[in-house]
Chain A
Amino acid sequence: MSTIELQSVSVARGGVDVIRDLSLVVDPGSWCVVVGPNGAGKSSLIGAIAGTLRHRGRLLIDGVDVGDLSPRERARLVAVVPQQPLLPFGMSVTEYVMLGRTAHLPPFGREGARDRQIVGETLERLDLDWLSHRDIASISGGEMQRALIGRAIVQHTKVLLLDEPTNALDIRHQQQALEVVDALRREDDLTVLSALHDLTLAAQYGEKVALLTCGTLISEGRPIEVLTEERVAAIYGADVIVRIDPEVGLVVLPRRRP
């Protein structure tokens, strides 16, 4: 299990700071959900931890500053499920998931029996084995999401980042994707940080919620403490109802205007 620690992290895009002086700690084995309106900086935060965006400040995983690591070293610590993956033409699901083994292979090496075994087991675990020969571009959105999670899992990291993993998925596939991640988190002792738009889902799956707006951390803590009706209304500029349901917990719904 690994701790993610951000110390005064800033991220600039196009000369403008989209994350400003942000500090946050994610406990080992927990799931932290980053929420906030469009343009709040959720994806930029994930990009900085993933190493796809430059950052200032310190970004530590188990005390190691990931800014000092090569892509290969970082890929052994952090795996990412991107929001909008680029799909290669003509690659099978197995080949696609196998890309996740890259950081564990010799620089110009090929995958061996152990890599094939890891990928085979992951495909079975994610119920993708029956699709293993299919073209990655031909599978459904829900299956694609599981393939992306599979590619991240075979990286054998202790930190998993997910950028809007439920985007464009129907309710069944949203549930399926999040349940898969939650099960993997428990079984593999993963520390998970994800961006989510749906506040109800964020409250259900996140042990901690971090609310961002304009690149600044407004509040962090248990969902029930962070996602209050007044705060959500103020940050999102939306008229919402926040209720505690005895079965599912915190529910956030937009209120229909008369």
Chain B
Amino acid sequence: MNLRVTTKSSLAISLGFTLLVVASIVSLSLGAAGVPVLDVWRDVLSHLPGFGRSPLDELSAAVLWDLRIPRVVLSALVGAGLGMCGSAYQGAFRNPLVDPFLLGAAAGAGLGATLVIVYLPGSKDWPVRPLPLAAFVGALSAVAISYGVGHFAGSVGERRDASRLVLSGVAVASFFTAIQTFVQQQGNDNLRLVYSWILGGLTTSGWSDVLLVLPYLIVTAVVLLMHGRLLDVLSVGDDEARTLGVSPSRVRLVVVIAASVGTAACVSVSGLVSFVGLVVPHVVRLLFGSTYRTNLPASALFGATFLVLADLVSRTLTAPAELPIGVVTAFVGAPFFAWLLVRGRSR
């Protein structure tokens, strides 16, 4: 590609990476436990040869290594996943106003999580926690049903458009939400837990969550990055894409499967973190143009940065209490979304 495009793409990636490093350093340095900033970094450096001993006692070191660091890593992974999957969904449906929850992933995950919270209240202490698994399966089930309904409605064929698929996603999401609300009302004792999950949070995250989500996100990232150029071709419409040598329905299917797996993995450990998948790809598009070869990796980096900072706000703003991270992302994301709508109308 020409020099200016390459420079723009490199700028997006390097700026996103730099911001992520800075946000991670800030987020690691601050927290409710009151560990001094310098001691945090002296402890981190003490693991390298020649940097002396750690100034932290055992408890503070445990807070840092078993709570704060995995939480920062997990928020970066979830933010990267949602950002990249949002970009992929927007590319697959050629619509900048969709997010990775378009085909019901959020409603499905919400139902799965609610079923576990209401009917398996003691499962938190089980050796393998069923909640992330139920959320993961719920999210993928909702997307699969949406795709199935879309297929029978005639939207998933070689010469069809995707509009009926989107509508089937709306129907499936509403249906899953209705069941979730019903189940939730049956277990009034657990209402707070359900709401807390729905609003999203990384409160209990540890290295096990990082290891749980990482393999899925790696597979998702590899598949989506391979499809970046094909999503660029899709941006001229299904008919034109076909005349350029691409099968739109096949590309859309693979991209939606990969992005749904990534989204399901993210929400299974973080709950429903809203607006990241919508807002981040948009910001990247406004700043660096719209080719998906740039937008996908840049959305991952900017999404990671955004969620690392949002998580920092959620755990420090009202410390020692925590704000649900979904509240923070929605507080920033909702006004931005409204601005996008107004801007779209005036164009």
Contacts and interface: CB of A to CB of B under 8 A. Distances in A.
Interface stretch (A92-100, A181-189, A192-200, A211-219): A92-100
Contacts of B129: none
A75 interface: yes
Contact of A108 (B2, B226, B285): B226
Contact of B1 (A74, A90, A111): A111
A95 B244 contact: no
Given A89-B290, A132-B2, A80 B159 contact: no
Given A50-B243, A79-B243, A82-B240, A89 B5 contact: no
Interface stretch (A21-29, A51-59, A166-174, A237-245): A51-59
Interface residues of A, number: 42
Interface in A42-93: 47, 50-54, 70-72, 74-76, 78-80, 82, 85-92
Nearest to A72: B245
B246 to A, nearest CB: 6
Contacts of A178: none
A49 B2 CA distance: 33
A24 B237 CA distance: 29
Contact of A90 (B226, B239, B242, B291): B291
Interface in B213-263: 226-227, 229-230, 232-233, 235-237, 239-240, 242-247
Contacts of A10: none
Nearest to A110: B229
Given A52-B159, A86-B236, A86-B237, A92 B5 contact: yes
B242 A94 contact: no
A148 to B, nearest CB: 10
A92 B243 contact: no
B237 to A, nearest CB: 4
Contacts of B285: 89-90
Interface of B: 1-2, 4-5, 94, 96, 159, 226-227, 229-230, 232-233, 235-237, 239-240, 242-247, 285, 289-291
Interface of A: 47, 50-54, 70-72, 74-76, 78-80, 82, 85-92, 94-95, 98-100, 102-103, 105, 108-111, 116, 132-133, 135, 151, 155
